[in-house]
Structure 1
Amino acid sequence: MTTATLPAAAPSPRAIATRRRDAPDFSVRPAHRDEGPELAALSWPFVRAGALRERPLSLYLSRASDFLVAQAPDGSLEGCLALREHSAAGVLYNFCVAGHRQGTGMGARLLHAAFAAARARSMATLFTATTGSGRLFLRHGFVPTSPSLAPTAWARSLDPERNAHVLSRAL
């Protein structure tokens, strides 16, 4: 997972400032079981750019309940973040925000919703892996950590070819 951005027409600073002051024009909610195809489609540009690992549609379908989504007023999904429980720890994965929504606070809202969901499930720590800078995670309290401190099954699933950095945050 990465916090890399995709090339897109950047909104004007005034538009961003206006969006942040006003009520957001999106909602954050748990994904529905049948939204696997939409999750896969939202993730595909990040896979193509090398920011996310490719995952089969069957994974999005079987793990839709892991996902929080940011939904636009028209019903389209413009962001997602998955939270998977591993004992007392959680793993965040498949974090993406559509290019035209980056810089609007959508990623931060998804991340805060994931923190709330993890706390509600009594998770003590969250882990994630990124091939990018991880700026958003670092701004929200994550710190670099050793993969050996992460849930074993998840740490073993990391692709060493991707050279991902593991980050953690206590809740």
Structure 2
Amino acid sequence: MSRTGTGTLPVRPATAADAAALFALSEPSMDAGELRRRRVADYRAPRDRFLLVDGPAGPGGCVALRLLAPEPPAHPAPALLHNFCVRAGLRGAGLGSQLLETLLAEAGRHGVRTLVTASTGDGALFRRYGFEEIPAGLAPRAWAAELDPSRGSRVYLRTLAG
């Protein structure tokens, strides 16, 4: 765990019981166009492994890992990092770094070799953690086909040791 301005807060796997709280945490970012629109049921989907940090007033941040179908040789054991958000009042306290570090470790435990994400922001945190901006056409095809060009997202990729 990392030290943050709010103290050391544990990152834990989310459960189906957390779905409504994760939706409420993510909704302001969805409304702002920072995250793709999702439904409460999407936070219960078994295809996604949500991680969350419990803050003083419910989840303070979350991120999800989704394993994707391999696309050898370009993308062996690919995965998607998505729905990465931190509650507005807690941003800048290190929770994003804590979530990202935990997700990277989780991805490694699952044998992920290629991790991809998209961001409507500047991607500075991703670049600090070894992600490189790439053209969407170089991302796993099935995932890249779902990107909405009107959102102006940048695509980032990180190759993990393995």
- Alpha-carbon distance, 1:125 to partner: 1.3
| Distance change >3 Å, CA 41–CA 113, structure 1 → 2 | same
| Distance change >3 Å, CA 52–CA 19, structure 1 → 2 | closer
Choose 153-162 or 56-65, whichever is displaced more: 56-65
- Alpha-carbon distance, 1:149 to partner: 2.4
Aligned partners of 2:48, 2:152: CA distance in 1, in Å?
28
Structure 1 unaligned residues grouped into runs of 5+: 1-17
Q: Which has the higher contact order (CA 8 A, sep 6+)?
A: 1
- Alpha-carbon distance, 1:75 to partner: 7.1
Structure 2 unaligned residues grouped into runs of 5+: 71-76
**Other-structure match for 2:74:** none
Pairing partner for 1:85 from 67, 77, 80? 67
Deviations 1:53-94 (A, max 9, x none): 11112211224852010113x572110000101130111000
Aligned partners of 1:45, 1:63: CA distance in 2, in Å?
24
Q: Which amino acid aligns with 2:30?
A: V
Secondary structure at the counterpart of residue 157 of structure 1: coil
**Other-structure match for 1:105:** 94
Number of equivalent positions: 151
| Distance change >3 Å, CA 116–CA 163, structure 1 → 2 | same
**Other-structure match for 2:24:** 41
Aligned partners of 1:64, 1:29: CA distance in 2, in Å?
17
Aligned partners of 1:102, 1:30: CA distance in 2, in Å?
20
Percent identity between matched residues is: 40
Pairing partner for 1:152 from 124, 128, 141? 141
Aligned partners of 1:103, 1:64: CA distance in 2, in Å?
29
